[in-house]
Amino acid sequence: MAEPTPTSPAASAPWEARRNPSGKHLLRRLASWLAVALLLACVGWGFWPKPVLVETATVGRAPLTVRVSEEGKTRIRNRYVVAAPVAGRMRRVPLKPGDELKAGETVLTVIEAVAAPLLDPRTREQAEAEVSMRDATGKQAAESLAAARASLKLAEADRDRVRAIHRSGTISEADRDKAEGEASIKAAEVRAIEFSIQVNDFRLAQARAALTRPEVGSAGGVVEVKSPVSGRVLKVMQESETVVLPGTPILEVGDPRDLEVEAEILSRDAVAIHPGDPAEIEQWGGDAPLKGRVRRIEPAAFTKISALGVEEQRVIVLCDLIDPPPAATALGDRFRVEVRVAVWHRDDLLVAPAGAFFREGNVWKTFVYRDGRAVVTEVGTGQSDGRLTEIRSGIEAGTEVLLHPPDAVKDGTHLTRH
A 10 A CB-CB count for 262 gives 16
The CA distance from 230 to 101, in Å, is 5
pLDDT, residue 180, reads 77
What is the 8-class DSSP label of residue 168? H
Q: Which residues pair with 12 in a beta bridge?
A: none
Q: How many residues does the chain have?
A: 418
Give yes or no for a contact between 258 and 76, defined as CB atoms under 8 angstroms apart. yes
The CA distance from 65 to 385, in Å, is 6
> How deeply is 40 buried, as exposed, middle or buried, from its count of CB atoms within 10 A (0-12, 13-18, 19+)?
exposed
Q: H-type helices in 6-120, by residue range?
A: 23-47
Q: List the pLDDT tens digit at each of the 418 positions of the chain.
A: 444 454 444 455 555 555 555 566 677 777 778 877 787 777 766 665 678 888 999 999 999 999 999 999 999 998 999 999 988 889 999 999 999 999 989 999 999 877 666 777 888 788 888 888 888 888 888 888 888 888 888 888 888 877 777 666 667 777 777 877 888 888 888 888 888 888 888 788 887 777 776 555 555 578 899 998 899 999 999 999 998 999 999 999 999 888 999 999 999 999 999 999 999 999 999 889 999 999 999 999 999 998 889 999 999 999 999 999 999 989 989 999 999 999 999 999 999 999 999 999 889 999 999 988 899 999 999 999 889 999 999 999 999 999 998 888 888 888 888 7
Q: Which residues contact 264 (CB under 8 A, 6 or more apart)?
A: 70, 71, 72, 304, 314, 315, 316, 317
Q: Which residues pair with 9 in a beta bridge?
A: none
The CA distance from 136 to 138, in Å, is 5
Provide Rg for the chain, Cα atoms: 54
- In 3D space, the residue among 257, 292, 226 whose CA is nearest the CA of residue 78 turns out to be 257
The CA distance from 141 to 201, in Å, is 11
The CA distance from 94 to 103, in Å, is 17
The CA distance from 241 to 92, in Å, is 4
Give yes or no for a contact between 341 and 320, defined as CB atoms under 8 angstroms apart. no
Round to the nearest angstrom and report the end-to-end CA distance of the chain: 91
Q: Is the pTM of this model over 0.75?
A: no
Give yes or no for a contact between 108 and 82, defined as CB atoms under 8 angstroms apart. yes
Give yes or no for a contact between 83 and 249, defined as CB atoms under 8 angstroms apart. yes
Give yes or no for a contact between 337 and 350, defined as CB atoms under 8 angstroms apart. no
Give CA separation, 72 vs 125, 297, 340, in Å.
66, 14, 10
Report the relative pairing of strands 357-360 and 290-297 from DSSP bridges. Answer: unpaired
Give CA separation, 149 vs 137, 143, 165, 186, in Å.
18, 10, 25, 8
Give CA separation, 123 vs 51, 117, 130, 204, in Å.
105, 11, 10, 16
The CA distance from 88 to 265, in Å, is 45
